[in-house]
């Protein structure tokens, strides 16, 4: 999925940044995005509320930021040279969660695009799309909540 050279580039071009700092920064970004997704969920989760194209764009942007950050953490976790032995028990569950998030984003972006084009004309089809979007937002929030990259809490 990601090459070791990408991780070297990330750490080499971040003077003084080690893997733990990069991971902490990425987790902070994911938590910020989780907060955004929770706000977006309120919009999409209310089936009686009209959703506007601008809100679809906000959701797509949040998902793309989530995917980018999840992929950065995957790169760090896939680089075995940067992993300390104490972090190995958290590595594979974290990778599974991050890859799940990645798949969710790949699935939902086209759905958001389709919904964006149709959201101003309510129908059964748009209601189904809106429900699917709210489900994926909820599942993504749950995946973020389950993500644990702190070996001290094991």
The domain spans of the chain are 18-149
CATH of domain 18-149: 1.20.120
pLDDT tens column, 73-118: 888 877 755 555 445 667 788 888 999 999 999 999 999 999 999 9
Confidence grade of residue 8 (pLDDT, cut at 50, 70, 90): very low
Q: Which string of b and e fits 118-144 if b means at least 16 CB within 10 Å?
A: bbeeeeeebeebbebbbebbeebbebb
pLDDT at 9 over 50: no
Confidence grade of residue 23 (pLDDT, cut at 50, 70, 90): confident
Rounded-to-integer distance, Cα 34 and Cα 133, Å = 15
Whether pTM exceeds 0.85: no
pLDDT at 1 over 80: no
The DSSP string of 36-83 is: HHHHHHHHHH-TTS---HHHHHHHHHHHHHHHHHHHHHHHHHH-GGG-
Do residues 137 and 44 make contact, with C-beta atoms less than 8 angstroms apart?
Answer: yes
């Amino acid at each position: 999925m990601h090459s070791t050279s990408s991780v070297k580039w990330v750490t080499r071009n971040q003077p003084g940044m080690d893997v733990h700092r990069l991971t902490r920064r990425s987790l902070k970004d994911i938590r910020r995005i989780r907060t955004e997704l929770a706000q977006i969920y309120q919009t999409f989760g209310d089936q009686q509320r009209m959703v506007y194209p601008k809100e679809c764009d906000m959701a797509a942007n949040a998902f793309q930021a989530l995917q980018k950050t999840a992929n950065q953490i995957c790169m760090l976790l896939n680089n075995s040279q940067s992993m300390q032995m104490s972090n190995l028990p958290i590595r594979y569950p974290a990778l599974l969660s991050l890859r799940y998030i990645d798949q969710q984003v790949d699935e939902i972006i086209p759905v958001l695009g389709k919904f964006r084009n149709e959201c101003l004309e309510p129908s059964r089809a748009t209601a189904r799309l809106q429900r699917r979007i709210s489900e994926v937002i909820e599942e993504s929030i749950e995946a973020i909540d389950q993500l644990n990259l702190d070996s001290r809490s094991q």
